[in-house]
Amino acid sequence: MIDAALQQPDVWRPFLSALRDGAPAGTAETEFRGTVHPGSHGGSTFDDGESRQGGSSAIGALKAVGALVDGRGVAIRALVTHGGGAQVDIVEATSHVSFGMGSNILESVLLDVGSDPEPYRRLPVPRDGVTVSPDADPDVVRELVRRILPDAEPASASALAEAESSLGAALPEDVRALYLTAGAGDLVLPEAGSDLFYGMSIVALDDAAGREYLEPRARYGSWPDGAIEVVAPDPHGRVQALGASRAWFVVGDDFGGNLFVVDLEPGPRGQVGQVLFVDHETPAGARWLAPSLTELLTRRPGEPEELGPEGGLLVRVGPRGRTVADVRPETEVLFVGVAPEPVDLAALAGHRGIRTLVVNRAAAVANLDAVASLPALEYLECDVPRWQQLLGSGQVPPNLLAAGMNGRADWTASVDVVDALLIRWGLPRLDVTRVGLAIT
């Protein structure tokens, strides 16, 4: 339930007055859509349907409201009629509805809260015959670490055993040698050219914060963001195409938030214990860096290898000439933008690989109902009128895990669409509280 304090008209009066006073002369109606959290607030303002630039006084007036909001925050839609009436609709944050900061504040609906987008659900495939690099040498690692970090405290054998138990596998011997020599510390290698591996800060075995970025939800942020990611293949077949992997074990960071991990489930041409580079600005996948920790520290490769091209995994239909005919059997993500001719989605019927489809609000499409025939489709994003069409015809794809809204739509229609999706999946409807008042 919405906190009783937020249901008091006087709480909203300064904000609504500022909305009214900031409108151009002659404005009949001003609308604001945004979010309010204890430490942040913002949104978009429209005067008679036209976006307003600025409006800092109204945004500033929301700060006092934020002090009354709990940590989960609320979405609001405020409407001021310049004859004196005003109302605020308040939507409580839930685990099922994600708020945005654009014109359609009800940005996405999570129909299965416990799920991750498909690239992050993939499990590494065990490979028979894949072995450790013959040049991995625990004695070399031990000697190098002792020389650079002579005063380092080793990790305890029990801490190492606990880490391996949690991982469900034994770490390579050269990785074990690292930790049994230095449990933490800045392992900076001697300079010998700017193009060589510089070194790393050893991530301690019990450093949960240092490892949390490998968790899927830390990498992709919002569900819609994760749904549009594809993982380009390693052209050499050494790294499996995974959004994240339970078989990647962090051993260090590069002092800039990027991670070095050892891979215990490599691709068919990789090696157990190979070192991968995980870029904190890349939401999925990892790049190959060295065959083993030993070779990373001694041969010092400068840059991780690039992945192959995305190819047909992601297709954008639009003004640059790509059409539905460019969709391939391997296509996973499809964006439909504004094209010279209406895009006929019937050509996609029965495609077994498309898991994400985003239809731009300005795109002209035909046969929208074909989306219900895509067996792998788990995320669909389109505007509210198209959602109304699918709901009305009973053609909402049955396997969706999340639904996205784009474009600006009537507030009531947006709420109705979100509620209809929640009801269809047996989930609680939105809790919308309306506060009305007069401002003079």
Task: Tell me what pLDDT residue 5 has.
Answer: 86
CA gap 322, 311 in Å, rounded: 13
Task: Tell me what pLDDT residue 93 has.
Answer: 84
In angstroms, what CA-CA distances link 313 with 123, 229, 239, 337? Answer: 19, 10, 17, 17
Task: Tell me what pLDDT residue 298 has.
Answer: 95
Task: Tell me what pLDDT residue 306 has.
Answer: 86
- The three-state secondary structure class of 101 is coil
Task: Tell me what pLDDT residue 55 has.
Answer: 61
- Is it the case that residue 54 has pLDDT exceeding 70? no
Task: Tell me what pLDDT residue 430 has.
Answer: 94
Question: Which run of H or of E encompasses 274?
Answer: strand 274-278
DSSP state of 30: E
CB 244 within 8 A of CB 121: no
Lowest mean pLDDT: which of 133-142, 146-155, 213-222? 213-222
- The three-state secondary structure class of 418 is helix
- Is it the case that residue 51 has pLDDT exceeding 90? no
- Is it the case that residue 381 has pLDDT exceeding 90? yes
- Is it the case that residue 304 has pLDDT exceeding 80? yes
CA gap 251, 264 in Å, rounded: 13
In angstroms, what CA-CA distances link 90 with 44, 330, 374, 404? Answer: 15, 43, 36, 20
Task: Tell me what pLDDT residue 406 has.
Answer: 93
Q: What is the mean pLDDT of residues 367-390?
A: 97
CA gap 247, 266 in Å, rounded: 9
**What counts of helices (H) and strands (E) characterise the chain?**
12, 21
Task: Tell me what pLDDT residue 354 has.
Answer: 98
Task: Tell me what pLDDT residue 132 has.
Answer: 96
> Distance between alpha carbon 297 and the CA centroid of its chain, in Å?
33
CB 227 within 8 A of CB 402: yes
**pLDDT more than 70, % of the chain:** 98
Task: Tell me what pLDDT residue 102 has.
Answer: 66
Task: Tell me what pLDDT residue 151 has.
Answer: 96
Lowest mean pLDDT: which of 34-48, 114-128, 362-376? 34-48
Place 29 in a pLDDT band, splitting at 50, 70 and 90. very high
Task: Tell me what pLDDT residue 152 has.
Answer: 97
What pLDDT digit, counting tens, does each position of 58-116 carry? 888 888 888 888 877 899 999 999 887 999 999 988 899 988 866 678 899 999 999 99
CA gap 256, 304 in Å, rounded: 15
Q: What is the mean pLDDT of residues 400-412?
A: 93
CA gap 124, 245 in Å, rounded: 7
Lowest mean pLDDT: which of 189-198, 206-215, 388-397? 189-198
> Distance between alpha carbon 226 and the CA centroid of its chain, in Å?
4
Closest CA to 220 of 151, 281, 138: 281
- Is it the case that residue 370 has pLDDT exceeding 80? yes
Residue 113 φ/ψ, nearest 5 degrees: -60, -30
Place 417 in a pLDDT band, splitting at 50, 70 and 90. very high
CA angle 83, 84, 90 (to 5 degrees): 120
What pLDDT digit, counting tens, does each position of 202-244 carry? 999 999 888 888 999 999 989 999 999 999 999 999 999 999 9
- Is it the case that residue 364 has pLDDT exceeding 80? yes
What pLDDT digit, counting tens, does each position of 252-279 carry? 999 999 999 999 999 999 999 999 999 9
